[in-house]
Structure 1
Amino acid sequence: MKKTHLTETRFSNLELSDSIIKGLNDAGFINCTPIQDKSLPLSLRGKDVAGQAQTGTGKTATFLLATFQHLINDESEKIKNPRAIILAPTRELAIQIHKDALLMSQYLNLKFALIYGGTDYQKQLDKIKTNVDIIIGTPGRIIDFYRQGAFTLDNIQVTVMDEADRMFDLGFIKDIRFLLRRMPPPENRLNLLFSATLSYKVTELAYEHMNNPVLIRIETEEVTSKAINQQAFCPANEQKIPLLLGLLNHYQPLRSIVFVNTKRSAETLDDYLQANGYKTALLSGDVPQDKRQRLLNDFQENRVNLLIATDVAARGLHIADVSHVFNYDLPQDVEDYVHRIGRTARFGASGEAISFVCEEYAYSMPDIEDFIGEKIPMQQITPELLMADVVKPERRLPRERVMPHSKRPPREHKPRSPQRTTTPASEPESPQ
């Protein structure tokens, strides 16, 4: 790890129990990141924290360690469970938090329930009815089980809201408030909130449902931008696939993610990459949960080294050693750019973020540069970067997805590029 992304503060110098420190040492965590350094001394003493930090900066460990220590400190003889609840906006993030929790609590006597929609309904219901200490999950299914009387919120001692800005984006705030209002008062529990931005909405939520939280902001330049080499190319639409294939051949990345804006674009790109010899996994919003987990496991365990993803995968995925992120389509939301490139250069490593400023999404670049506060260097597209002999895929997308010619609305007769003719634009998919 690069020391520029760690502080001099060691976990062993904080008010953490020996059993927690032992788990951290086993996991290779010795020094704190900036968000851990500023948050943990407060939260370990029972002070509420609302923290702003980008993904990949160690915020998951920040709230898990504070939660574990708070529960350990409770020496009352009549402990009733569950005692802590950790809310996440997406199932992928909930799954990753659960995985990190198991890693860091291996020497603790804590039981977890992982709760999210899409699969394993009865299995999760049975689990939450057992004597679990900590619930980790997404709001919708947690509320479903709560209304069935599967568990009580009367004894919650720690509440965590992760990626609160995303909770607003996905329309979960009413669900969050439903749960918070059924817990003990804010002054009777430890409350932790983390968000990429402490916007007005997020801080309003914090002050409404937390006990005088300390606001902690970790600026972007402290945590990610210096570790990620950002660059961009301006291809014509018909150059995008040859350029991506040429860059993959040039860089030979061990593990990379290619982000696109629509499911249609993802499927087309997947066809081309497979036809040209790449083993790929495609992650989009309508992939069933069981298959999503298989795809992510294949990617994490190097059975597949190229993941094609829509923004459903832009947050909450802690996958080590992603060396390159390609924005095949520029995101239309500036914050999604930061979350996408945050898939690389995690926990002090370095990484490459390469963006295509194409005809369709070029308008996003000025807003992205304003948001990150810097210009992204533009690179020249040289002939050697364009793959000359691109193999066209034999498989085509199902014809029924294309509107019949007789029903298509009339359009102006303007010259169009080959890419737009063969791959009609589709609506961006829902992040859910």
Structure 2
Amino acid sequence: MSFADLGLSEELLKTVEAAGYSEPTAIQRQAIPSVLMMRDLIGIAQTGTGKTASFVLPMIDILAEGRSRARMPRSLILEPTRELAAQVAENFEKYGKNHKLSMALLIGGVQMGDQVKALEKGVDVLIATPGRLMDLFERGKILLTGCNMLVIDEADRMLDMGFIPDIENICTKLPANRQTLLFSATMPPPIKKLADKFLSNPKQIEVARPASTNTNITQWLVPVSNSAFEKRKVLRSLLSAEDVRTAIIFCNRKTTVRELNKSLKKHGYRSAEIHGDMDQSSRIAELDRFKAGDVNILVASDVAARGLDIKGVSHVFNFDAPWHPDDYVHRIGRTGRAGATGTAYTLVSSADAEAVENIEKLQGQKIERIGPPPVAEPEAERKPRGRKADEPRPKREREPRAEPAKRAEARDSAPPRAEERPRRDRDRRRDQFADDGPDDGWNGPIPDFLQFTIPA
């Protein structure tokens, strides 16, 4: 089956072909015709299956008819993170270049003024994170009564981040007869409840078992100690032993991300970092460096775990085993995308036993354990550590002691040692001013206890 068989317009087919795509993925084959028929849809798909294009492509054709009005977007796409929202915006720019559709991106961490100006002009597609959208709505800067199409992307991630109440609030402000598309990697009970409440007779598509991992990804567990120093050493050994073209290294904490990136740079690796404490412009700049190949290792917190579609990532390393098993699926899904193969290593200590058990239970399979490769210390960095056991202690030759009189003469004529110079200079200044007259530092009256009369 080709994209032409899905019912897309000629203009859109030319754009897709120019982008280098000839055959749709499984979720695209099933989702695009249903979206074009204006049906509500639930899409359950593992990461890296082409999910974004499955709603972006039909939305472009649907929105080709009609015109936008000020502060009233015609469609709304909700994303859990800024990075995902920016990525969807890139997809619209790439596939919609033959259509005259306007778009606005509402995300935190950037100036609100430019976003308000874009809304006032009117937009066909509004891509937003729930927090910034609700902020602008409460300020009266946006109206949702004209929005006839809603996409809730990464719904299970929305649940993890506590956005479900915001999404429910947003849904009540949109027209009741809208078209709603919901996409999620898993379908936990709260997401099922959300779908039952706000979707009307949806078609459900499932292209992979929920929370299953990509079969193109080879997974390994590497036992390590609890020591951060030892873990960094094992990680470097893996980076050296493997044919790592580009890699993403995940950590559980932002402080660990910073420390690990600093350590990797110190050892000569071309690495960058991305985490939640960075402002939006800095995060985008680091991602652009990674995509451009200026750096080939990206150290990240889970803010980057979902939805980042970066081509050619050969390896994923979990420096910390993720606390939630679903996060493991999304982390390693950054490699092995679009039919390519990838490798994922997870460093695990004795404290990670429960987390590993939950991951294997979720996947329904055991992950093979391997030992880390030996670390070969470079010759230049090797330092002698004392003499060998059978090596004799070297003898020092001493000069004969001089006569006492000559020793004293040499001591007096020798220049003062560095630590003695300040003291000698101080003594010299004290002697210099000892006979300069009275001390002019006190200008007040003479105290009584210093006044006395010499007897006659």
Give the superposition deviation at 1:148. 2.6
Rounded to whole Å, the distance in 2 between the matches of 1:160 and 1:41 is 16
Change over 3 Å in CA distance of 1:132–1:356 after alignment to 2:
same
Rounded to whole Å, the distance in 1 between the matches of 2:138 and 2:210 is 43
Counterpart contact for 2:238–2:372, Cα < 8 Å: no
Change over 3 Å in CA distance of 1:374–1:60 after alignment to 2:
same
Matched, 1:287 2:275: no
Rounded to whole Å, the distance in 1 between the matches of 2:164 and 2:50 is 24
Give the superposition deviation at 1:168. 1.4
* CA-to-aligned-CA distance 1:225-261 (integer Å, 9 cap, x gap): 2110111211223432121111111124121011111
Which residue of structure 2 aligns with residue 65 of structure 1?
57
Question: Aligned to 1:209, which of 181, 192, 198?
Answer: 198
Amino acid aligned to 2:253: T
Which residue of structure 2 aligns with residue 88 of structure 1?
79
SS in 1 for 2:350: coil
SS in 2 for 1:206: helix
Give the superposition deviation at 1:170. 1.1
SS in 2 for 1:237: coil
Change over 3 Å in CA distance of 1:78–1:355 after alignment to 2:
closer
* CA-to-aligned-CA distance 1:296-333 (integer Å, 9 cap, x gap): 11111111111111111111211111110001111010
Which residue of structure 2 aligns with residue 124 of structure 1?
115
Which residue of structure 2 aligns with residue 277 of structure 1?
268
Rounded to whole Å, the distance in 1 between the matches of 2:132 and 2:88 is 17
Counterpart contact for 1:87–1:138, Cα < 8 Å: yes
SS in 1 for 2:204: strand
What residue ranges of structure 1 are gaps of 5+ in the alignment? 1-8, 393-432
Rounded to whole Å, the distance in 1 between the matches of 2:379 and 2:328 is 28
Which residue of structure 1 aligns with residue 23 of structure 2?
31
Which residue of structure 2 aligns with residue 424 of structure 1?
none
Change over 3 Å in CA distance of 1:113–1:390 after alignment to 2:
farther
Which residue of structure 2 aligns with residue 225 of structure 1?
214
Amino acid aligned to 1:23: T
Which residue of structure 2 aligns with residue 296 of structure 1?
287
After superposition, residues 236-247 of structure 1 pair within 5 angstroms as 236-238=225-227, 239-247=230-238
Matched, 1:43 2:39: no
Rounded to whole Å, the distance in 2 between the matches of 1:255 and 1:220 is 28
Which residue of structure 2 aligns with residue 430 of structure 1?
none
Rounded to whole Å, the distance in 2 between the matches of 1:222 and 1:39 is 19
Amino acid aligned to 2:95: M
Amino acid aligned to 1:132: V
Counterpart contact for 1:50–1:214, Cα < 8 Å: yes
Amino acid aligned to 2:372: I
Give the superposition deviation at 1:390. 12
Amino acid aligned to 1:56: G
Which residue of structure 1 aligns with residue 452 of structure 2?
none
Give the superposition deviation at 1:380. 2.5
Q: Higher relative contact order by CA 8 Å / sep ≥ 6: 1 or 2?
A: 1
Matched, 1:251 2:245: no
Which residue of structure 2 aligns with residue 395 of structure 1?
none
SS in 2 for 1:12: helix
SS in 2 for 1:348: coil
Count residues with an aligned counterpart: 378
Rounded to whole Å, the distance in 2 between the matches of 1:310 and 1:390 is 34
Rounded to whole Å, the distance in 2 between the matches of 1:26 and 1:19 is 11
Q: Which entry has the higher C-alpha Rg, 1 or 2?
A: 2
Aligned-residue identity in percent: 38
Which residue of structure 1 aligns with residue 420 of structure 2?
none
Give the superposition deviation at 1:388. 3.6
Counterpart contact for 2:186–2:210, Cα < 8 Å: no
Which residue of structure 1 aligns with residue 441 of structure 2?
none
Question: Aligned to 1:262, which of 215, 233, 253?
Answer: 253
Rounded to whole Å, the distance in 1 between the matches of 2:358 and 2:141 is 46
Which residue of structure 2 aligns with residue 113 of structure 1?
104
Rounded to whole Å, the distance in 1 between the matches of 2:50 and 2:157 is 18
* CA-to-aligned-CA distance 1:258-300 (integer Å, 9 cap, x gap): 1111122222212221111012111121111111111111111
Rounded to whole Å, the distance in 2 between the matches of 1:303 and 1:360 is 36
Change over 3 Å in CA distance of 1:68–1:206 after alignment to 2:
same
Give the superposition deviation at 1:149. 2.7
* CA-to-aligned-CA distance 1:71-90 (integer Å, 9 cap, x gap): 23x46x89785210000011
Counterpart contact for 1:55–1:342, Cα < 8 Å: yes
Q: TM-score when scaled to structure 2?
A: 0.79
Which residue of structure 2 aligns with residue 372 of structure 1?
363
Rounded to whole Å, the distance in 2 between the matches of 1:388 and 1:360 is 29
Counterpart contact for 1:242–1:390, Cα < 8 Å: no
Q: TM-score when scaled to structure 1?
A: 0.83
Rounded to whole Å, the distance in 2 between the matches of 1:307 and 1:390 is 28
Counterpart contact for 2:247–2:296, Cα < 8 Å: yes
Q: Which moved more, 1:34-43 or 1:146-155?
A: 146-155
After superposition, residues 325-344 of structure 1 pair within 5 angstroms as 325-344=316-335
Output the aligned Cα RMSD.
2.1
